[in-house]
């Protein structure tokens, strides 16, 4: 059972999530490909985990290209979709908006792995964007009567580990089913 993890990460959050998934799946035949660095054809894999971080309300361009090129192929595979984004409250909305409905419906799961609103390592303009998102979160707290600074988002390791366990089990069942004919 060959598993492909095809992901796009600009500043490393999605990459850290993928590394955690890969270490959970030690012993399985897993290939992780950063779509920002290289392209990959999912046709030769049995299962595909596809994910991206969100920038300005969109998947990364490399992830969008992958989706445009291989959506039909992905619909024939066992898939998992995941997102990383800084605005936790928007995660469910992004899942619906950014992944095609048919793919979401056929997927084993569609997950939010968390995200960062840290400005470390960002360009000048990226820092402005992130600071404005942080301000929006703060304004929202104030509107809700809470004057303390809201906690910043982070990676959600429990979501990654849960998927790792459940998907491993699912693949083992599928394989047993196909061996028994
Ligand atoms: C320039 C910029 C734009 C962003 N736009 C969004 C956005 O529209 N919505 C959101 O929830 N998070 C947004 N984020 C937060 C990223 O999704 C978050 O930092 C994520 O962890 C980045 O993942 P990566 O390190 O894998 O690229 C943005 C971050 C930057 C730097």
What is the value of pTM for the model shown? 0.96
For the range 36-39, what are the long-range contacts, defined as Cβ-Cβ under 8 Å and sequence gap of 24 or more?
A: 36/8, 36/9, 36/10, 36/60, 36/62, 39/65, 39/66
Instruction: Output the CA 17–ligand 1 centroid distance in Å.
Output: 14
pLDDT, tens digit, 9 for 90 and up, residues 94-148: 999 999 999 999 999 999 999 999 999 999 999 999 999 999 999 988 999 998 8
Domains of the chain: 2-116+154-180 (3.40.50.360), 117-152 (no CATH)
Instruction: Output the CA 9–ligand 1 centroid distance in Å.
Output: 10
Atom 8 of ligand 1, nearest CA residue: 56
Give the number of the atom of ligand 1 that is nearest the alpha carbon of residue 125: 1
Torsion angles phi and psi, residue 107, rounded to 5 = -70, 150
Give the number of the atom of ligand 1 that is nearest the alpha carbon of residue 57: 8
Tell which residue, 111, 103, 131, has the closest CA to residue 17. Answer: 111
**Ligand 1, residues 10, 11, 37, 54: which to mutate, most atoms within 8 A of Cβ?**
54
**pLDDT-derived band at 181, boundaries 50, 70, 90:** confident
Instruction: Output the CA 30–ligand 1 centroid distance in Å.
Output: 26
């Amino acid at each position: 059972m060959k598993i492909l993890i095809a992901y796009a990460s600009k500043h490393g959050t999605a990459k850290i999530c993928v590394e955690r998934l890969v270490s959970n799946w030690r012993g399985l035949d897993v290939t992780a490909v950063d779509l920002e660095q290289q392209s990959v054809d999912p046709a030769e894999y049995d299962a595909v985990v596809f994910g991206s971080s969100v920038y300005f309300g969109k998947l990364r361009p490399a992830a969008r290209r992958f989706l445009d090129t291989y959506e039909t192929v992905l619909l024939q595979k066992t898939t998992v979709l995941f997102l990383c984004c800084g605005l936790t409250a928007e995660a469910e909305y992004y899942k619906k908006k950014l992944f095609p409905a048919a793919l979401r419906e056929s997927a084993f799961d569609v997950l939010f792995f968390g995200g960062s609103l840290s400005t470390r390592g960002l360009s000048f303009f990226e820092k402005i964007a992130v600071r404005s998102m942080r301000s929006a979160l703060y304004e929202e707290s104030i509107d809700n009567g809470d004057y303390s600074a809201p906690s910043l988002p982070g990676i959600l390791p429990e979501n990654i580990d849960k998927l790792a366990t459940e998907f491993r089990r699912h693949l083992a069942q599928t394989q047993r089913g196909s061996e028994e004919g």
